[in-house]
């Protein structure tokens, strides 16, 4: 694995994205909906930079289930707050093909918010299969499988304080077996 975005660069990118969001919303109340689980680290850092009144909830979206190929998207939205007539910001970790963001936005729009915008930590270049583009983007990255700062491979590496690209050999190995043998 090799570091793609350092801890310092992540902090700077989150601060810049927060500044853009603040310019858009000002002091208006905002409902932030995080797309679990990958958004948790970026969301925590982002909301500490936002100073308008915030409400926070989550939707769980999963399509990878331990593989590197996308499968059917499963959404669990039981914990969503009432967003009727409110401004909503969806926060996700990565914009890859775009299907997750499109489906989550469609779900939220059925709840009749005043507005829905999206913020993503990473936008993977060359992978989009949808017309939609995120409103706020922390970083554009090449088409590589990335981990760290909330992103995982087989439920590992989310805790890395930086974003790293996995080498093809890393994707062939079972990281759970490697971590056990190192203990």
DSSP state of 182: H
Strand order in the sheet with 2-5: 2-5, 163-165, 146-147
pTM score, whole prediction: 0.87
pLDDT bin (cut points 50, 70, 90) of residue 168 is confident
* pLDDT for res 169: 81
Q: How far apart are CA 78 and CA 167, in angstroms?
A: 37
pLDDT of 170 above 70:
yes
Once rounded to an integer, what is the mean pLDDT over residues 92-98?
A: 95
Q: What is the mean pLDDT of the chain?
A: 89
The catalytic site residues sit at: 96
Give per-residue pLDDT as tens, 15-27: 999 999 999 999 9
Q: How far apart are CA 96 and CA 103, in angstroms?
A: 13
For the chain, list the domains and their CATH numbers: 2-182 (3.40.50.2020)
Of all residues in the chain, what percent carry a pLDDT higher than 70?
86
pLDDT of 78 above 50:
yes
Once rounded to an integer, what is the mean pLDDT over residues 82-100?
A: 95
DSSP assignments along 98-127, one per residue: SHHHHHHHHHHHTT--SEEEEEEEEEETT-
Backbone φ and ψ of 20, nearest 5°: -65, -40
pLDDT of 89 above 70:
yes
SS3 71: coil
């Amino acid at each position: 694995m090799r570091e793609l975005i350092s801890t310092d660069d992540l902090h700077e990118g989150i601060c810049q994205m927060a500044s853009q969001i603040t310019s858009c919303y000002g002091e208006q109340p905002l409902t932030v909906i995080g797309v679990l689980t990958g958004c948790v680290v970026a969301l925590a850092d982002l909301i500490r930079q936002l100073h308008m009144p915030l409400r926070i909830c989550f939707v769980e979206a999963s399509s990878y289930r331990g593989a590197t190929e996308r499968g059917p998207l499963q959404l669990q939205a039981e914990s969503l707050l009432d967003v009727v007539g409110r401004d909503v910001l969806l926060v996700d970790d990565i914009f890859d093909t775009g299907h997750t963001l499109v489906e989550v936005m469609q779900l939220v729009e059925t709840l009749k918010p005043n507005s829905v915008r999206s913020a993503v930590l990473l936008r993977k270049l060359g992978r989009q299969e949808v017309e939609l583009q995120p409103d706020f983007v922390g970083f554009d990255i090449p088409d590589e499988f990335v981990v760290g700062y909330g992103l995982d491979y087989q439920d590992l590496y989310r805790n890395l304080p930086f974003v790293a690209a996995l080498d093809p050999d890393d994707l062939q190995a079972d990281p759970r077996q490697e971590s056990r043998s190192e203990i």
